[in-house]
Each structure stands twice: as C-alpha cells, then as structure tokens.
Structure 1
C-alpha cells in the first residue's frame, strides 16, 4: 500500500523541517518533542479523544503537518521482541471508536478502591496497553499515550515518575508490545516499570513536601516574636560595634 506520509521514493516521513535523512530527522524529532514536553501541561482538556489529539499536536506539531490527527492508513511495525512480527493495531477507520472505548475504560476504573501499588500498576498497565494498541497516530504513539495516561492518573491522586518512562523508552515500548498480543499478552514487564514509576513518583512528592515543611517551619521561626527579637538584638549589636569603631577612629 502506498504510504501518503512518506517522502516519495523514501522511507522518511514528510516533515516541516524538510529533512530527508532518517537519522537527522530522528535527532530533530527527539530534541523538539522533548522540549515541547516541558510545556505539555499547558494543553488543557477533559481526558477525552480530543484531549489525546491535542497532546499529540503539541508534542509533534512543529515537525509534522498531520500531528493531532488520527492516521489515515493501516500500519504494521516489525517488532524485535516478536521476532519481526507486528502487533495488530486498530483499523484506521475504527480509531475514533476504539480510542474512545479505551479511554472510557481507563476513566471507569474505581481507582480509590485500589490500595496497593501492585493493584494500581496492574489496572494502569492494562488500560494503557489497550489505548496504545489502538495506535491512533502514524508516529508518536508511545510518547503521547504515556503522557495522557500519566496525567490522568494524577487526577486520581496516583503520581508516576514520568522520567522513568523517558529514560527507559525502549523498555517501555517493548513492554507495551508484549502487553498487546491478545491471548499471549505478558503484562509483567509493563507492570514492573509502572509500579516503579508509581513508587518513585510518591517518594519524590514526599521529598518535596518535607522540604516545603522545612521552609515553612524556618519561615515561622524568622517571623515569630522570638525570631524578630533575635534579629533586632543582632542588628543592635552590629550597630554598637560600628559606633565603637567610629569613636576609636575619631580619637
């Protein structure tokens, strides 16, 4: 099938940067998308299909004209962990329907009833993999869907360390592949990194909270009556020393 996304007689995606070399495009895409992720929270939405599209457009809109739009063709990708076979992604005509269904499943989970990291990681992994298998976009699915799911989890007071996914991008994608092969799906790898991301995310929040409490406590001491008196006494002592030095010089 002819791929309308490719530069003619090439395997390189058409792009706004007019790059025709795959290696150079990979470098540019990585750098630009990482920079765009710093402002990703500026993209507001209701964690629905449109929100998913908007996140993708924000991340890759400076590179591809079609960013923020579902793919218009069926795709296959040879996966090393599947000995060159591909995950069976959604038919492109079914993307809106199947993406909406996957998002609704994610949002219908009663997250407050899940007590352990294991329970939360299992539910998160299952729903993330379901949405990922739809593969709504020609490129940028893992980045966009990870961001979408992590942001949604935060609204349910489940905080994941996003950097863990970014720093282990290949592992994350391979884990998603293994969790998306029907009856043979293996969620163990995805559960593992999701659980680690939840645990490290909570530890980071506790650390930030403790530092904030320390600053707050210090501020209270500074602006308490005792603190003000100590500062006044210190200032007075310095002033007395200055006056004494001036007297010595005038003698």
Structure 2
C-alpha cells in the first residue's frame, strides 16, 4: 500500500543537533559524579554516523553489559543508559508542562537503573522526607519539600507558569530561574532529581522556541547543580539566584558569558 507515509524505524532523529544532545546527556551525569564507559563513546559515533538509532544504541549497551566477563560497575552502567535516554528525550519534540510529564521523564530515564530497594520509586514521587549534605553549603542541606506537599507544590508552580508563556515576560531569565529552582527544590523523587529536572526544562524551553546552547551542560553540569542548591531554600537560611540566572543567561542569551565563580563569604559573614 502506498499511502504517502514513510516508516522511520520507530523514531525521528535530528542529526543536525544530535551531537549537542549527546554532549548534554553525557555532561549531566556529572551532577552525580558519574562517567560513561568507552563503549558508550563508540556507540555515540555509530549513532552520529547514522549506523544506529537511539533504541539500537541502548540495545547494544544491554548486550555489552550482559556479556561482560566481570560484574559491571553499576554506576558506569547507569551513566551509559541514562545518557542515551536523555539524548533520546532531547531529540523528541513532544512535551507538556504538566506534573505527569515530569513523572514520565523520570520513569523513562531510570527504569531498570535504581539499586535494589529504590526501584519502586522510579516514576513515582517519594513518600519519605530526605536531606543531603552539600559541599557548597559546608555540609548543610537544602530544605526539600515535605513529601506530603510535593504534588501541591508542583501543581502551584506549574499552574503559575502555565498562566503565561515564557516569552510574555520581559524578565524571563529571573522568572525562569525561580521556576526551575522551585521545581528542583521540591525534589519530588528519591533519586535523579537534577537530571529529570534538567530534561524537563530543556524540553520546555525548546517548546517555547528558545535557541538553547545545550552544550553548556557538557562542562558545567556540576555548576548547574550547585547553582540550584544556592538558589533553593536551605539550612543556611538564605538563597542566592545570581548563579542560576547567570547559567540561564549563558544558556539562552550570550554563550560567551563567563559564569561567575561561587563566592559565599558575604553570606557566611551575615550568618555569624
């Protein structure tokens, strides 16, 4: 039957931007001190040369780890598999600014990834309260949302963002920084919050026709996470948006902008 349509093997591939998607995906692993294997880089080259699509890259990774003579490092496996899934999601233009979309992204990224005991939290909001010592806070933690308020907080922030498009704001960088910070500060998941949030926001920006320098995440993912920490409600009882705003300024407006070094001395002095 000739109906005018062509089968595309299950996915569209934006080869023009594929390298930047891979750079972003691999760079984002650094937020959790994860680094992909040499095998992934081989498969990335196959993908960029048109030899494999995203699904085939992931299938090759599963085969590679199944055939390993020694038990593979689960952290490296995580970096490999989550990288290909992030690249695939960035290639996909479908997006809705909803709570359900955030859950879908988390489910897609971390299925069969979490260690035993945490697998039940894939694609689900956490049902416990958590804290995490942050080096940039001197060992203190962000004050994440109480798990009983996660859905309410997300509903509020997403509804407020949905009331207007990002292009209707003159001050879209400060507003965007606060929106992203609020989503991340809610920390809806047990694991994988930064990577899921980053993909969610990058897809949102693309939906709003922003030209995004995805490659910024290649070398600055740790900076992005630390900027989120400083912009969030934390146990030092102050928050500072300037680093997150600078990150988004460089991401969206001026790729030549130098990201400011973190300077916490004044804030530390105020706490004393």
Q: Identify the TM-score tier after normalising by the shorter chain.
A: 0.5 to 0.7
Q: Aligned ranges for residues 156-235 of structure 1 at < 5 Å? A: 156-181=208-233, 184-199=238-253
Instruction: Report what 2:96 is aligned to.
Output: 46
Following the alignment from structure 1 to structure 2, what is the Cα–Cα distance between the partners of residues 28 and 103? 33
Among residues 129, 139, 144, which one is paired with 1:74 in the alignment?
A: 129
Q: How many residues align?
A: 179
More helix by share: 1
**Structure 2: 5+ residue runs without aligned partners?**
1-64, 66-71, 256-272
| Residue 92 in structure 1 maps to residue 147 in structure 2 | yes
Checking the alignment, whether the CA contact within 8 Å between 2:95 and 2:204 is kept in structure 1 is no
Q: CA deviation at 1:113?
A: 3.1
Q: Secondary structure in 2 aligned to 1:137?
A: coil
Counterpart of 2:81 (choices 15, 32, 48) is: 32
Distance 1:163 1:90, change over 3 A: same
Instruction: Flag structure 1 segments of 5+ consecutive residues without an equivalent.
Output: 1-16, 18-22, 202-251
CA deviation string 1:80-125 (max 9, x = no partner): 111111100011121111112122223234423335xxx2221111
- SS at structure 1 position matched to 2:222: helix
Change (3 A) 1:159 1:101: farther
**TM-score (ref. length: structure 2):** 0.60
Given that residues 95 and 207 in structure 2 are in contact (C-alpha distance below 8 angstroms), is that contact kept between their aligned partners in structure 1?
A: no
Residue 139 (structure 1) aligned to one of 181, 186, 191: 191
Q: Does residue 122 in structure 1 map to residue 174 in structure 2?
A: yes
Rounded Cα–Cα distance in structure 1 between residues aligned with 2:169 and 2:95: 25
SS in 1 for 2:215: helix
TM-score (norm 1): 0.64
Q: Choose between structure 1 and 2 for higher RCO, CA contacts under 8 A separated by at least 6 residues.
A: 2
